[in-house]
Chain A
Amino acid sequence: EVQLVESGGGLVQPGGSLRLSCAASGFTLSNYWMHWVRQAPGRGLVWVSRISSDGITAYADSVRGRFTISRDNAENTLYLQMNSLGAEDTAVYYCVRAEGGPNWFDPWGQGTLVTVSS
């Protein structure tokens, strides 16, 4: 069964850092394009970042230079390193697989909540 399990969320002060993890099972993560999508409380879905199967990364303008997406092939785990966090980064962060390249998002993890507050 294909499964994505996020972890690492929590409460962090403004200006702080956090690293999210997404453990993949049932498939080889490095063979797929993987994404992070976030959803602020009561708001819509916003794409954050992507890493392609050949390791090319892309970021939303709002996080470029602050967030870094990476993966550990041996651990079959996706990461999102988040630095210089602000209140606007408060959201549930979802780890998502893209089917067969630059395609639709499926499946989605359950998400991990990041709260930036003093």
Chain B
Amino acid sequence: IVMTQSPDSLAVSLGERATINCKSSQSVLSSSNNKNYLAWYQQKPGQPPKLLIYWASTRESGVPDRFSGSGSGTDFSLTIGSLQAEDVAVYYCQQYYSTPYTFGQGTKLEIK
């Protein structure tokens, strides 16, 4: 499954909304449990990735509620409701529906 993110980079003003899109080459929605096998990660320079969202829309414990995930099947989005300076990072989507567990190419989020 090929994961394609858009855009590759994004510059948003502090306090504004940022949206990153992720498209999978085939559906990652399981018919057995009606769950989308899609996660979002945040990676800051020099650090390992950090889980933000799983099952496409479930926020990991401790993740600020300005982060939200949506979508189903093949089209997904990560939205940061009000951009903070500490949100500058590269964001990756990932499907864990089947091996190989593929990631999107990453979206670099910067402050405008």
Contacts and interface: CB of A to CB of B under 8 A. Distances in A.
B50 to A, nearest CB: 7
Contacts of A108: 48-50
A47 B54 contact: no
A13 B62 CA distance: 42
Interface string B30-52: 00000001010101000011110
Given A35-B101, A47-B103, 16 more contacts: A44-B92, A44-B106, A45-B49, A45-B92, A45-B94, A45-B103, A46-B103, A47-B99, A58-B100, A61-B100, A104-B39, A105-B39, A105-B101, A107-B51, A108-B50, A109-B48
Given A98-B96, A103-B96, A105-B39, A47 B48 contact: no
A106 B51 contact: yes
Tell me the dominant secondary structure on chain A's binding face.
strand
A104 B54 contact: yes
Interface residues of A, number: 22
B6 interface: no
A94 B48 contact: yes
B65 interface: no
In this complex, which of B37, B39, B48, B54 has the most chain A Cβ atoms within 10 angstroms of its Cβ? B48
Nearest to B40: A104
Interface of B: 37, 39, 41, 43, 48-51, 54-55, 60, 92, 94, 96, 99-106
B102 A110 contact: no
Contacts of B96: 98, 102-105
A111 B48 contact: yes
A-B pairs, top 6 by smallest CB distance, nearest first, are A108-B48, A104-B54, A106-B51, A104-B39, A45-B103, A47-B101
Nearest to B92: A45
B48 A44 contact: no
Interface string A37-51: 000000011110010
A60 interface: yes
A62 to B, nearest CB: 9
A72 to B, nearest CB: 23
A105 B49 CA distance: 9
A108 B92 CA distance: 14
